[in-house]
Structure 1
């Protein structure tokens, strides 16, 4: 059994009128290499004629985002020419690489009609060798993501990266990473062996579960030791989990605002390049 080091609570960090909780980074947990940052927006209900998500055009370099849409939608647009509206159950995967500008806002329909919203964004680091790669974006709707069923279909796994029981993930990662969104009925369970040398990202989005005999509530993140391989999960309530694992890069991480690099000099260069228009042009 994989040993648990600590269970971390999320910190409340509202953004405009958007309910937001973050379990990482916090005072108790900086990162779980190569998983850098998580924002959990909602659950909340927007009225009709709302302003929607507040994430207008902003730059990134040196990292990736994985965005999970549980309720509501996101309209994505970036300076590399990608555009999409992804709805409930869909996932967006963006590689910032050497730099782009993007906006993540609500669709016109959502702003007009309102509705439920719950969205999470996870930042993945990029290894030093790939920080200046060409930016990329893929947005997939729920129907386009393969699903694996466990425990007589009481556990449904959206396989995003890597493989599980022969089911290949929807996205090809820029480095070896395995990641799933897992939906569990009350009383259901699953187990998984994860190599000791890989770090685990385990976050409870909804509900309550028991992991290796420890209870974990929603909006809590589990930090594991690198001892043992097996994790055993049982759902005390109907639950949703994000589970990822990958080998750590063990490289210096210097993060400032939207840029994640390996040195202060590279951060200064990122700001300079952005100001000099090297992240592409933004047209509305």
Structure 2
């Protein structure tokens, strides 16, 4: 079975009144190539007449954001002309590529009525050859994302990208990024084989899982070695897992603020291009 190198606890990083935990990057783990950043917002309950999510207009270049809406909603708008409101169970995939400006806030209805909110945003790196690709955004509601089940039907997989349990994911990707949200019933078991050439992303959103004999509690991320393909996962209780795997790029990574490039020169160019309006202009 594949060995666990280390278990990392998500760090508490509130953003105003938004509950936020982040397992990567931290002092103990910079990235799991090509997965470079994860924020876990919530779970929390917003009151009526709230201000919603605080992520007003900001730029990105050189990476992709994958946003999982477990509860609540996100109103997306970007300088490429895309806009949407994605609700509970939906997923957004934005390829920043050469650069764009976007905002991620709550819908007017959510700000008025309040309610449960839990959202995860994962940043996925782009290889050097695709960092200046044309920006792209797709937001899909829950019903548009394929699902699959384990043999005993106790594990439900929402398949976001790649292929998992024989089912193709909802989003086409530049590289072999395989991402799914797995929902475990209590006492569920799942056996997987992931090629040793792939890096695994394994973050327990909720509950308590055991993988290859090691307990992983909620808001913890397991860092694996690349020594064996086999994973044996069992759920001690009802649990949710953000699970992914991909071939590492093994390229230099320089991240500064919202930009992820291969050198400081490219980071400086990104800031210059943003200030010059080359990532689009923001209009309300």
Q: What band does the TM-score fall into relative to the shorter chain?
A: over 0.9
Partner of 1:65: 65
SS at match of 1:172: coil
Gaps of 5+ in 1: none
C-alpha displacement of 1:153: 1.7
Q: What residue number does 2:228 align with? A: 228
Q: Residue in 1 aligned with 2:267?
A: 267
Paired residue for 1:216? 216
Once the two structures are superposed, residues 148-189 of structure 1 have per-residue CA deviations (whole angstroms, 9 ceiling, x without a partner) of 011422110001111123210000111111111000001111
Match of 1:139 in 2: 139
Q: 1:151, 1:189 within 8 Å by CA — same for their partners in 2?
A: no
Who is 1:279 aligned against?
279
1:127 aligns with 2:119: no
Q: Could you list the per-position Cα deviations for residues 26-60 of structure 1 after superposition, in whole angstroms to 9, with x for gaps in the alignment? A: 01100000000000000000000000000000000
**Superposition CA RMSD, Å:** 0.6
Alpha-carbon distance between aligned partners in 2 of 1:25 and 1:225, rounded to the nearest angstrom: 18
Matches within 5 A, 1:95-244: 95-244=95-244
Q: 2:65, 2:74 → 1: CA distance?
A: 13
C-alpha distance in structure 2 between counterparts of 1:165 and 1:265, whole Å: 42
**C-alpha distance in 2, partners of 1:140/1:216?**
30
TM-score, normalization: structure 1?
0.99
Whole-Å Cα distance in 2 between the matches of residues 141 and 47 of structure 1? 24
More off after superposition, 48-57 vs 190-199: 190-199
1:16 aligns with 16
Deviations 1:59-104 (A, max 9, x none): 0000000000000000000000111100111000000000000000
Corresponding position of 1:47: 47
Deviates more, 1:45-54 or 1:144-153: 144-153
Asked if the contact 1:212/1:231 (under 8 Å) is kept, the reply is yes
Counterparts of 1:115 and 1:196, CA distance in 2: 42
Q: Is the 8 A contact 2:150 2:165 kept in 1?
A: no
Aligned residue for 1:203, secondary structure, equals strand
